[in-house]
Amino acid sequence: MIKNPTVEMTDEKHLPQANVPFDQIAKDLVRTTTHGGKTIRRVSIILGVLSIVGIVALIVKLITQRDDSTQWGYVAALVSFLLTVGGGAPMVAIAPVLAKANWVRPITRISAIFSLTGIATLIMTIPLLVVLPPLVVDGTRRRSIWFEGPNFSPHVWDYIGILGLIITGLALFYTAAIPDFAVMRDHTTGWRKRVGRILSRGWIGSNSQWRTLRMRIGMFGTFYFLILIFVHFLFSSDFAMGIVPGWRDAIFPMYHSITSLQGGLAAVIASLWFIRRYFKLEKYIHIDQFWSLSRLLFATTLLWIYFFYSAFIVFWYGRGGADKAWIDLLVRGSKEGIGPMGWVFIFAGIFIFIAPWWWLIWNSVRRSINGPIIAASLILIGIMLDRVRIFVTAWSVPTEHIHDKYLMIIPQTSLPSGLDIMIIIGGICIGLLPILVISRVIPVVSIWEMQQFNLLSKPVKYMKTHGVLVAKPD
Partner 1 sequence: MEYWSLNPTSLKVMQQKRNLSQIHTNKTLLNGQLNTPKWWAPTVLILGIAVVIGLSAIGVMVNKGLGVTGLSRPVYWGLFITTFVFWVGISHAGIMISAILRLTQAEWRRPVTRAAELLTVFSLLTALAFPLIHAGRPWRIIYYIIPYDFARGIYPNIRSPLIWDPVAIGTYLTGSTLFLYIALIPDLGNLRDRTTGWQNAFYTILALGWRGNPRQWKMQTVGGILLSALMLPIFVSVHSIVSWDFAIIPSVEGWHSTIFAPYFVIGAVHSGVSAVVTMMALMRWLWKWDDFIRPEHFDALARLLIVVATAWLGFTFLELLFAVYGLDAPELALREMQLFQWPWNFLFIIFMLTAYIIPVTMWLFKKVRTNIALMFWTSILVNIGMWLERFMIIVPGLARKQPFVFTWEAYRPSGLEWLILVWSFAWVTFLMLLFSRFFPLVPLFEQKESQVFTDDVKIGRASVPAIIREID
Contact between 143 and partner 1 by CB under 8 A: the answer reads yes
Q: Which part of the chain contacts partner 1 (CB under 8 A), choosing from 131-139, 331-339, 372-380, 448-456?
A: 448-456
Q: According to CB under 8 A, which one of 43, 137, 302, 438 is a site residue for partner 1?
A: 302
3-state SS assignment for residue 457:
strand
Please state at what angle helix 207-239 crosses helix 153-187, rounded to 10 degrees: 150
Maximum alpha-carbon separation in the chain: 77
Contact between 74 and partner 1 by CB under 8 A: the answer reads no
Contact between 154 and partner 1 by CB under 8 A: the answer reads no
Provide the minimum distance between the beta carbon of 468 and partner 1 in the complex, in angstroms, as a whole number: 5
Contact between 307 and partner 1 by CB under 8 A: the answer reads yes
Provide the minimum distance between the beta carbon of 254 and partner 1 in the complex, in angstroms, as a whole number: 7
How far is the C-alpha of 350 from the C-alpha of 222, rounded, in Å?
Answer: 33
Q: b vs e for 221-237, b when ≥16 Cβ sit within 10 Å of the residue's Cβ?
A: bebbbebbbbbbbbbbb
Contact between 358 and partner 1 by CB under 8 A: the answer reads no
Provide the minimum distance between the beta carbon of 87 and partner 1 in the complex, in angstroms, as a whole number: 17
Provide CB contacts within 8 A for 347, sequence distance 6+: 382, 385
Contact between 473 and partner 1 by CB under 8 A: the answer reads yes
How far is the C-alpha of 196 from the C-alpha of 122, rounded, in Å?
Answer: 27
Q: According to CB under 8 A, which one of 12, 186, 323, 404 is a site residue for partner 1?
A: 323
**Is the four-CA dihedral 105, 440, 24, 197 of positive or negative sign?**
negative
Provide the minimum distance between the beta carbon of 317 and partner 1 in the complex, in angstroms, as a whole number: 4
| Contact mark string toward partner 1, 4..23, x via CB under 8 A | -x-------xx---------
How far is the C-alpha of 55 from the C-alpha of 68, rounded, in Å?
Answer: 19
Q: How far is CA 406 from the centre of its chain?
A: 33
Provide CB contacts within 8 A for 179, sequence distance 6+: 200, 203, 205, 213, 447, 448
Q: According to CB under 8 A, which one of 42, 320, 398, 409 is a site residue for partner 1?
A: 320
Contact between 251 and partner 1 by CB under 8 A: the answer reads yes
Query: Based on the number of CB atoms within 10 Å of its own CB, is 170 exposed (0-12), middle (13-18) or buried (19 or more)?
Result: middle
Question: Side chain identity at 373, as an amino acid letter?
Answer: I
CB nearer to partner 1: give 59 or 470. Answer: 470
Ranges within 218-247 binding partner 1 (CB under 8 A): 229, 233, 246
Binding region for partner 1 (CB under 8 A): 1-3, 5, 13-14, 143-145, 147, 205, 207, 210-211, 214, 229, 233, 246, 248-254, 288, 302, 306-307, 310-311, 313-315, 317-320, 323, 451-452, 455-456, 458, 460, 462, 465-474
